[in-house]
Each structure stands twice: as C-alpha cells, then as structure tokens.
Amino acid sequence: MKNIFDLTKEELAARIIALGGKKFNAAQVFNWLYKNRVETFSAMSNLSRNLRPKLEEEFELPFFNIVRKAESRNEDAVKYLFELADGKKIESVLMLQPYGNTLCVSTQVGCAYGCFMCATGKMGLIRNLLPGEMTGQLLAIEKDKGVKVKNIVFMGMGEPLANYDNLKKAIELFSDSDGIGVNQRRITVSTCGILPGIKKLIEDKLRVKLSISLHSTFDSVRDKLVPVNKKYNLAHLFETLREYCTSTMFQITIEYVLIEGINDGIGEVDNLITLIRKYNLDVKVNIIPVNPVNKLMFSKEEIINLWQKKLENARITSTVRIERGADILAACGQLAGEG
C-alpha cells in the first residue's frame, strides 16, 4: 500500500481518477488530512461512499511514533526523537517564538557530508527521507504540542539538497493551500553548498529562502570544516549564490559558526566582506554559538563584537543566533546518535 502522505495533490488526483473519483476529490482529501487532521478515510464525510473504501484499500495513513522528547529549561525549544516504520530514528526541533513558531525538519537519516561541527555527519548516510516522513514531523509535533507552526527550516538531520526530489515534493506539500498552507517564503532550505541542488531550486522556481553553512572564506580552512568544499569550492559557491540572488531577489543567510582559533580571525571577516561585495550579494550573516559537539570553543565575546562592528560598517546585516536547546542536545543528530 502507498503512503498517502508521500503524494502531492496532483499525484493524488491522478490516483483518485484511476479509482473512479474526480480531480477535485484530491483537494477534499488534502483538507481532511492536513487541515482537519483526521486519521481514517471513513471520517472524510464529504467523499462519496464508493470512494472511501477504495482509498482505504489503496493507501495507508501512517503516523509518527514519538520515542522521546526533551524541553529546554527556558521552554522555548522542544526536541523530538521519532522512530520511523523501518525502525530508523530522526529528530525535529520545535522553536517556540513570539513572532511565529519554527520547526526544524530532518531530510535524511544521517548525513554523508561530515561537516566538522555536526553530530549527524558522524553517523554517515543511512537513507533519504520520503516526503511524508518530512511533513509527518510537523503533523506529529503540532498534535503533541497543540501549537501551529508558521515557519519551516530544513536544517535538521541530513543535507536537504542531497535528497532533492523528495525535498521538492515536501516543499509542495508544506505550502499547498489545501493542505498545511505554509507560504514558501516562510520555508528555508539550509545547505553546506550542494551547487547542483541550488541550481535546481532556481530552475524549479521554488520560492524558498536559502541558508548556506559557510564557516570559512578560505578554501584551505573550509575544506576541513565543510569537506564538500573540495568538490564545490568558494569561487563556484559564491557564483551560484549570485545566480540565486539574481533569480529570486531573496536575501541569503550565511551561517557562520565562529570557532576560537580556527575561523574567527580578522582576515576571515575581511575576506567575507570582500566576497559579498565582489559577487554583489544581498545577505544576512548569522553568527552561531557552538552546541556541545567535539568540545569546540565558541569565540570570545570581544571577537564576536568586532565581527559585528566590521559587518555593520560594511552595511551587512548580522545577528548572533540565540542559543536554543543546548540543554536538550539540540544540535542535529545528538539524540538519534544516542538512541
């Protein structure tokens, strides 16, 4: 049986028509699944009596099993550990914010890219998640917590652009107005720099925001921190970012974990400013505290202040990300790695 949550509305319509239904029935089913959150086809009362049993025979309605959850002391973050149908485990983090709750979604079990500061990368890639396994994270968390999610960030376990086809479907599912209905402008895809995937986002005209895990503006340093840089170096990365900015007119977020003595030198920020100007990028630089992985040391406050001052003088927006969930192992892969 097919997991109905893996299908876009257009795919579902094709299957329903094959079963003798009508195209508009797909919108009705989407409404029942994603807005009314029913758990049986028999509850879909505006479908014909003939169609409901056919859907029951054709599709399954699986829902996520919450293995464990941990809430931060400040009650502003909740981390969930889910067990999938095959026994594999993934994580999601709900960030409770006054301007709209944000859900950090996983796209893979594990990750193949081995970034230095990432716990998930130590697991290696186990498998890709299917679209319904991405949207299922939201459905389970909204039901458990009794809140609505306003923003989606694909920043959980895995490299989203290495699972592009399933990611694209998940974005369509999250943003479908007959379903979950999150505006694509409120969806962010985070990548370590998979350039073919960024180009596909442009080609497919997905109106999502882009976040780049940069962490260094020197190839010799970034090769060690973000090994994919050996394949797609900084010059190629920044050229592709320029294409994305030009195509979408969206601001790109540059994620920068400042690690003491490794990538926090003044030469780094000066080079970052030079590259942003050279490629005429509209960016926000997000400076991130290191969660407790690999016993890394976050840069001293005076260094952070100096970075922010230099960026401000260059008229580049910068923020220091408020550390959420360090007490609940909120860095990607930490609970799944334990479990």
Residues designated catalytic: 91, 332
- Token match 């959850």: residue? 69
| Residues 202-231 as b or e (16 or more Cβ within 10 Å = b) | eeeebebbbbbbbbbbeeebbbbbbbbbee
Question: Interior CA angle at 250 toward 244 and 252, to 5°?
Answer: 70
Helix axes 301-313, 266-278, angle to 10 degrees: 30
Cα 265–chain centre separation: 29
Q: Which of 308, 326, 310, 327 is nearest to 318 (CA)?
A: 308
Residue type, 296: L
- Would you state the structure tokens that stand for residue 36, as one six-digit string? 């009314």
DSSP H stretches of helix in the chain: 9-18, 24-30, 51-58, 131-145, 164-175, 195-203, 219-225, 234-248, 266-278, 301-313, 334-338
Task: Kindly tell me the burial class for residue 265, based on how many C-beta atoms sit within 10 Å of its own C-beta (0-12, 13-18, 19 or more).
Answer: middle
The DSSP element (H or E) to which 68 belongs, if any, is strand 65-71
